[in-house]
Structure 1
Amino acid sequence: MTTDVLQIELRKAERSRLQEVDFNHLPFGKHFSDHMFVADFVDGEWQNQMIVPFDNFTLSPALSSLHYGQSIFEGMKAFKNEAGEVLMFRPQANFARMNESAKRMCMATLPEEVFMGGLETLLRIDADWVPNTPDSSLYIRPYMFATDTYLGVAPSKTYRFCIFTCPVGAYYSNPPKLKVETEFIRSAPGGVGYAKCAGNYGGSLYPTLMAQQQGYDQLIWTDAREHKYIEESGTMNIIFVIDGKIVTPATSDSILKGVTRDSILKIARSWGMEVEERLVSIEEVISGIETGRLTEAFGAGTAVGSSPYSLIGYNGKDYMLPEFAPEDSVAVRVRNYLSDLRTGKIADSFGWMHRV
């Protein structure tokens, strides 16, 4: 069958896997919903839009994305309100960022009707997969990769766009421990650090593994020139509270423009908090911890939400971060506010929630 407006072909799964999932114990990224949206860019246009059962792709060994890295993705979440309606958080921001990544990676951009139309149709079909248990959500993974079968270093002329979803619980069960990375780099000025491309994450795996072997959970990445200024924190942007002010590295071509980061800064400003987006040095952070001027450090990202850190390791020494009661912590206040906003418990004064 085909929907009249969006012209999306629908092939439903013969059997749902919904009953196989324990929604009270959801590991992150392990369970996948019944269907996925797929579209192909061929002959200069997006076509073959389909909702199909979640399954493997059949791909050529000569697929150009496997050899030359034209692969980008996004991370989003959907929630349910008390009436059982499905709500997406700021999907337009993710749509805009995906096209920014596509332009930087010399890939085809997506029309809004393909991105949003496929997303909404998929969520309507798999609405029962959106959990309503505490600290849970439906994680949404839109991604695109080159599909030319050609061994030559040149932009592909064809692409596949896909969206699949998975019900998830909390990303971190405990506040993560971070190590400041002063040897390896995540990105450099003029590079692709602001794009959400697969290579950024592939390059981070080895130094992250080394840090985990030393007892840390993630890294704090520093600038490529001097390893003096903080950029990102593993899977998330990084935010500090110093002298009662929100302080965070200003985004650049080497720092991902996080949707959650942007949301938290807007919320903090609406609360009357002073917000500084600027260079933040490691020395300022360490000095702030030692003198008590720095009272919080936390990560901001779609997967983690707002995640307080427990310690920062730098030059062989661990610096413990202050512990706060929930009502005193900016990170927890923001997390609770976003949770209430996303589930419809408070008014959407920012206009961020998109009802499916």
Structure 2
Amino acid sequence: MPLPSRPLRKLGFLTIGLFDEADPRRGHESTLEIIQLGEQLGFDSAWVRHRHLQYGISSPVAVLAAASQRTSRIELGTAVIPLGWENPLRLAEDLATVDVLSGGRLNPGVSVGPPLHYDRVKDALYPDTGDAEDFSYERVRRLLGFVRGEPATGFRGADGFEVFSDRVQPYSPGLGSRMWYGGGSLRSARWAGEHGMNFLTSSVVKAEESEDFAEIQLSHVREFRAHHPDGERARVSQGLVVIPTDSASSGQRAKYKEYADRRTPRTSSPQGPARMMFAPDLVGSSAEIAERLYDHAAFREIDEVAFALPFTFEHEDYVQILTDLATGLGPALGWRPRH
């Protein structure tokens, strides 16, 4: 097996948290149990996706608040909160509250742009201001300012018996350094670097200067670090779909292969007007996947990952995948569990 350029320092995973409309509690409980298992296995971080008007986690901050009370060590992240659905000031309050409750373990990942299917939801989301809302990077900048303690108003002090702060409360001093931007383009990578954020790069990128996924992702990593105050030390996390099969049953292996095969055609060329490129899912033994990762140009320049769990599998499948990630693939990449 090729030698790694550097040992993997942080191993995390990402889950979408699907649920049955007839029994939503069971799905949310499954997500919390998976996060608890991740801590027991020594993972460094657990991340949840964000879905609105779908059968996935619509309120990741609430879910992570619950997870913070069931765990004590594992870092908790969002990948990512689409800010087009959010009021930056109110979100800053929620994030700071969960960070305080978790003991400083929250890693909020965000992105910008209009909400998906905006024409269909804007009357419900912004009935009076739908055509005036600003979905640019300014929305992230406002959130960063509130989280980092910049004044939200020009007033502080007492008003009768009430005492008011001019900045978001609670204020969690370390949270500002744990804000992540989920980007898939050179522009987003540059903006995140210039504003001192961390950078989440996933299995979806925009084909701008190449049609080779690894080359594109590598260009984003380098663009981000070239514009970040910390340079080469700036944090980047890679989120590919990775499915080790070391302890999988024959039935699980067949399911995983079918899942990946269905998704493979979209990885051959840029998709849609935005020319989005998708990374192939990595399915196989830990040794096979490690070798493929060491051949991945972008992976060789990062030292932390949040591998994405497939969308539609069963709870027992996720248990097997996480166990193999922690006991097989992670060590093959030079990682050691946190206990």
When normalised by structure 1's length, the TM-score is 0.25
* Higher share in strand: 1
* Higher share in helix: 2
When normalised by structure 2's length, the TM-score is 0.26
Bigger relative CO (Cα 8 Å, ≥ 6 apart) = 2
